[in-house]
Amino acid sequence: MGDRHTRGYTRVMRCGVLRADLVLVSKKKREMLLLRGESLLRTYRVALGRQPVGPKRQEGDGRTPEGRYTIDRRNARSRYHLSLHISYPDAEDAARAREAGVDPGGDIMIHGLADGVRLEGDWTQGCIAVTDEEMDEIWGLVGDGTAIWIGE
């Protein structure tokens, strides 16, 4: 197969391929589940923001958000292999940041690795990271508009 830009990452899913309708992330367990209804499709180990305890409050805090969001776009040319954008900040996050006089941050993604290099521990700026191979699979199983719940 050719390089990743010619392998069909933007193609329409084939008939018969199940798609997740919910992504669940447990920050405490460092685990991400892809669900369809009550059926578990896949489970992944994840790396989080470098300060993983507690919800994201402002740009640069190194925390991964907590709450219910949506996968709202994808990037096939990500610096981190592939990425799915999470709709953080929502209106509540933005209001909380405005009250505190800070920028809530944004650009939170589920993504692969930089140059395919696996790092130990929590190392992102607040994103959810998996291996490049796992990201290839997630890319096909999670469509735009899929709900994601991130909890402690």
- Active-site residue list: 111, 127
3 state SS of 150: strand
Across 77-111, b (16+ Cβ under 10 Å) vs e yields ebebbbbbbbbbbeeebeebbeeeeeebbbebbbb
Task: Count CA atoms closer than 13 A to 3's CA, side-chain side.
Answer: 4
H or E stretch covering 96: helix 91-100
